[in-house]
Amino acid sequence: MIKSMTGYGRSEKITLTGKCTIEIKSVNHRYLDLSIKLPRKLNMFESQIRDVLKDYIQRGKVDIFVTYEDYSKESVSIKYNSQIASEYMKYLQQMSEEFDIDDDIRVSTLARMPEVLVSEEENVNEEEIWKLLKETLQEACDAFVVSRIKEGENLKNDLLEKLDAMSVNVAFIEERYPKIIEEYKNRLTLKIKEVLDDKQIDESRILTEVCIYSDKVCVDEEMVRLKSHIEAVKESLTTGGAVGKRLDFLAQELNREANTTLSKSSDIEISNVAITIKTEIEKIREQIQNIE
């Protein structure tokens, strides 16, 4: 199956000990670029989160937002640092004496001094937290992949339609090419007749000129390669998987053959069709950029 690099997934899980919410968003990118935003308490799990994500995502710029609420009553405790408080009191009293000002220190004032009262997290159950985090992450990833597959299928169907239209244009050029050779031969014969004033015409000379012209404007090889690349793109789309880079390469090859065809063409109809093919290839290249 084909996956788009644009996707969104969300999951939320609640247990007796906490609530975890995870959102995943992505856009196209040449490589895999993971940006994980975690609460400070969960920073220890970043490496494990990356390992899980790599099982679901191969390419794209992906933003992961994790929030966690701890329902454990004893998860945080307040500690009173009496030694620090004593130091503050000693220096505040010294300042009062030195500057002859009132010593108006209250408990509330002292409590606000840095490091007098500090909050400390109790030992957390890492295994329990990781279990909740992993389950939530996997659910979010599943939803994220589903959205990518849905968008990828839309891209695939549209690309196949464009490739079918391109095949029709290639067939037109193949059919048109012998006709322009015959038209060139007729024009050349008529011109020689006018110049020679109905004198005997050297047919071999005309055939030689026609052969030279035919070689110059021949696009048989380009058409063969275009058809081959079109089939290769269709095969990749049908096979699926992480084929974005391969498709991008094939689109470049398609564009190369279309450019060569256009540069060789001296026929307005073939030129117009070659321009149409180039336009479709550019549209295909833009859409391929969003395929994983």
Q: What is the pLDDT of residue 252?
A: 94
| Domains, the chain, with CATH or none | 7-73+125-148 (3.30.230), 76-121 (no CATH), 151-288 (1.20.140)
Task: Supply the DSSP string of 75-108, one letter for each residue.
Answer: SEEEEE-HHHHHHHHHHHHHHHHHHT------HH
Q: What are phi and psi of 10, to 5 degrees?
A: -145, 145
Distance, CA of 191 to CA of 207 (rounded, Å): 14
Cβ neighbors of 150 (< 8 A, separation 6 or more) are: none
Which long-range CB contacts under 8 A does 85-89 form with residues at least 24 apart?
A: 85/110, 85/113, 85/116, 88/113, 88/116
Mean pLDDT by 10 residues, the chain (292 residues): 92 91 94 93 92 92 93 68 88 85 82 80 76 95 95 94 94 85 66 61 66 69 92 92 90 93 84 93 92 90
Q: Are 257 and 226 in contact (CB under 8 A)?
A: yes
Q: What is the pLDDT of residue 170?
A: 93
Residue 173 has a CB neighbour count (10 Å cut-off) of 21
Residue 116, both tokens: 């007098």
Distance, CA of 33 to CA of 29 (rounded, Å): 7
